[in-house]
Chain A
């Protein structure tokens, strides 16, 4: 009986904690949106975060995009060759990247590289009382620290995804055209004919924007809400990477099912 009561008590406490955290997350989101205007009025703060989240993530995005494109070129050629349509390699590489791999892989890399860094930075600022100090100086940390980092991430993400896709297409071209010998004209002309700007490119941009909002929000929230200890910051960083990955994959399914209903 005691064990049952203890289990029920634990379950109740977990539920209350979960509901409380959900409520706090909702209030946090509203507060970040409320103070977003200030971060745009003080543009240098947001530009600085675009540099840290976006520009400093460029290397990993460019290199990863190139390798993904190289692999797509190899795999795509191997499959298309069997059906005698190796000239369609450009279409396959471009659509794979623009619709799926570009936004999804770039967002996963962005969460690991920039999202974790944002969580760590805000978490450490909390642990070392920097956020409290700011608050005591009558400077709202949500407006000064959180909102610029959130928007820095949101703005960076679509640009990084575009860069990833561009590098991937370049990688596919390198393997398909330069290394294997697929016709250069066929590679580009078939791609241009088959890729629709609104249906393929714009939907990819929308996906990357949504992923940017999700990852940036998770990163700033986990940093702001972490336990102010070394272990607490470490757990918050882990949560950022794990929750971001799950959110990206789940949102990708939802968005894809809405965007490409004709399939």
Chain B
């Protein structure tokens, strides 16, 4: 857990609603993330977790409600102001999203080249330090195609923290990783967050790793927050949704079957 005592809120969502066309994804989300915290957003597939992350990153705009980051309402920012805000954010995409035409070094150096006027020697030192932090200094000349899934994720992490962001967003950081890579990635997320004094929000399905790592958890289902609490509170929770999620039960508040008419009504033999 964080050694820093969480202070003022860095991210604040109030009554956020969002829809793709007529399909409502989020139906009034309230959420707060304080500086120094690592917060997990969990829920079943398609419940709106990634949409929530994209709203916080300013990639989507809320239909109604307010998304505030560092006191600024993202919905009211111009493109220029939003880009200025994003320079203080880092995002780790599900599969890394490394630039395939650049090697590892150039991928990590990319945001530094784009947003700073630092001399090449200094950029080189910074990149090597970031790669050292994720344990991949020796892989600097490899191309993304030569990396394993876990390594690609770590390079993407080094790239995401290249500008020392105040807010880190993680989209399924543990998806498809072997147990060792999973543990390493989890430790890196915690360590980098504490070292930067940043706040981190991660969307994840991996309950056990996340509960060992985060300060606070939000559970999302059907576009609303159905449960929240510290890892201890979540483990002790009697909420049926939380219990189903933690115990990986196939049926419960999140149904096993996609909505459909009763099977009997579809079987011709039964009707006869």
Decide if B57 is an interface residue (CB 8 Å cutoff): yes
* Docked pose: A135 CA to B83 CA in angstroms: 8
A257 touches B (CB below 8 Å): no
Residues of A within 8 A of B86 (CB): 135-138
Q: How far is the CA of A109 from the CA of B243 in the complex (A)?
A: 61
CA gap between A125 and B120 in the complex, in Å: 27
Q: Which residues of chain B from 77 to 120 have any CB-CB distance to chain A below 8 Å in the complex?
A: 83-84, 86-87, 89, 91, 93-95, 97-100, 110-111, 114-115
Interface membership of A133, Cβ < 8 A: yes
Asked if B148 lies at the interface with its beta carbon under 8 angstroms from chain A, I say: no
- Closest B residue, CB atoms, query A52: B101
Chain A residues within 8 Å of B91, by CB = 133, 136
The tally of residues in A whose CB lies under 8 Å from a CB in B reads: 15
Does any Cβ of B come within 8 Å of A129's Cβ? Answer: yes
For A136, give its contact among B59, B94, B95, B114 (CB under 8 Å): B59
Q: Encode A128-158 as 1/0 by CB contact (under 8 A) with B.
A: 1110111111111000100000000000000
Across the interface, B97 reaches (CB within 8 A) one of A130, A138, A139, A140, namely A130
Q: Is the CB of B111 within 8 A of A130?
A: no
Report the Cα distance A130→B59, complex, angstroms. Answer: 14
Closest beta carbon of chain A to B201's beta carbon, Å? 13
Number of A-B contacts (CB under 8 A): 47
Chain B contacts for A128, CB-based, 8 A: 95, 97, 100
Beta-carbon contact of A135 and B110 below 8 Å: no
B97 touches A132 (CB 8 A): yes
Q: Name which residue of chain B comes closest to A128, CB basis.
A: B97
Q: Which residues of B contact A139 (CB under 8 A)?
A: 110-111, 114
Instruction: Verify B57–A138 contact, CB threshold 8 A.
Output: no
Which applies to chain A's interface (DSSP): helix, strand, loop or mixed? helix
Contact A129 B89 (CB under 8 A): no
Nearest-CB distance from B101 to chain A (Å)? 8
Q: How far is the CB of B13 from chain A (nearest CB, A)?
A: 18
Residue of A nearest to B91 (CB): A136
Chain B residues, CB < 8 A from A144: 114
Instruction: Give the complex CA separation of A124 and B84 in angstroms.
Output: 27
Q: For the complex formed, measure the closest distance between the CB of A247 and the CB atoms of chain B, giving whole angstroms.
A: 28
Candidates B84, B94, B95, B111; contact of A137 at CB < 8 Å:
B111
Contact A138 B93 (CB under 8 A): no
Which of A130, A133, A138 lies at the interface centre, i.e. has the most chain B CB atoms within 10 A of its CB? A138
Kindly list chain B residues whose C-beta atoms are within 8 Å of the C-beta of A129: 93-95, 97
Shortest C-beta distance, B210 to chain A (Å), equals 22
Q: Of residues A128, A136, A139, A144, which shows the largest number of chain B Cβ atoms within 10 Å of its Cβ?
A: A136
**Which residue on chain B has the smallest CB distance to residue A131?**
B97
B70 CB to closest chain A CB, in angstroms? 15
Q: What residue in chain B is nearest A140 (Cβ atoms)? A: B83
Query: Which residues of B are found within 8 Å of A134, using beta-carbon distances?
Result: 99
Tell whether, in the assembled complex, residue A137 and residue B97 are in contact, meaning their CB atoms are under 8 Å apart: no
Kindly identify, within residues 103 to 140 of chain A, every residue whose CB is under 8 Å from any CB belonging to chain B.
124-125, 128-130, 132-140
Q: Find out whether the CB atom of B99 lies under 8 angstroms from the CB atom of A136.
A: no
Inter-subunit contact A130/B99 (CB<8 Å)? yes
List 15 additional A-B contacts (Cβ < 8 Å) besides A136-B57, A137-B87. A128-B95, A128-B97, A129-B94, A130-B97, A130-B99, A132-B59, A133-B93, A133-B99, A136-B59, A136-B86, A136-B89, A137-B111, A138-B83, A140-B83, A144-B114
Q: Interface on B for A, CB 8 Å cutoff?
A: 57, 59, 83-84, 86-87, 89, 91, 93-95, 97-100, 110-111, 114-115, 156, 169
Give 21 CB contacts A-B under 8 Å: A124-B100, A129-B93, A129-B94, A129-B95, A130-B99, A132-B93, A132-B97, A133-B91, A133-B97, A133-B99, A133-B156, A136-B57, A136-B59, A136-B89, A137-B86, A137-B114, A137-B115, A138-B83, A138-B84, A138-B86, A144-B114
